[in-house]
Amino acid sequence: MKDEMDILREVGSIAAAHGGMALSEILGKKITLLMPSIDMVSCNNISKKLGAKETGITVVCRIFTGLKGESAFILDERNAFKLLGLSPSVSDVDKKSELITEMGMSTIKEIGSIVINAYLSAISVILKRVILSLPPTLISGTISEIINIIIASSGVDDYALLIEAVFEEPEQKIKGSFYLLLSQKAAADIRAACEQMLEDLKKQ
């Protein structure tokens, strides 16, 4: 029998399909985007889930309509460089560099924005409301530092919808994490929408 998390996993599958098509277009090669795992956790437990001491790069988008919250896409350094290696817009010199250049940062920001907005669009369907985010910004540092900055700036410290994001192309697999930092009301709204969908399924 389906539960709320099953509904959210289906939302993730829809988002991944749309996001994969968009990524394939901008990267110029077949990219399969998967969102294999999803979990609703308290904000206090995010660091434990993501590996707090790892250094990462995060694309952050503040949600300004439809939900109160913040969205973020996190890559550790190793996976960030692997992802840049797929991009035709990043030069071969930059791909071999130990530093991420301005062009590389722009590419990561664009890819992160695609992943974030694909999921927000899918969530907007089940909530039956328009969900829009502000332009993305980048934050780098350890995962715990990044999360603390986002929580402090957003004023939202209740729940996080934590989603694993996996990029697959014929030669390699790249892993990242995407999460929605949600107010208590926003989390309740999502749960209520999932419960309504479950009720509708029972009636069919």
The 8-class DSSP code of residue 171 comes to T
CATH number for 103: 3.40.1550.10
3-state secondary structure of 200: helix
Q: Mean pLDDT in the chain?
A: 79
Quote the radius of gyration of the chain (alpha carbons, Å).
Answer: 17
Q: What is the pLDDT of residues 103-121, one digit of tens each?
A: 888 888 888 888 888 888 8
Tell me the residue range of the domain where 192 lies.
Answer: 4-203
Closest-CA residue to 123 (of 9, 204, 33, 29): 9
pLDDT confidence bin for 1, thresholds 50/70/90: very low
Does pLDDT of 65 surpass 80?
Answer: yes
Q: How many domains does the chain have?
A: 1
Distances (CA, A) of 39 to 129, 150, 183, 192: 22, 19, 16, 16
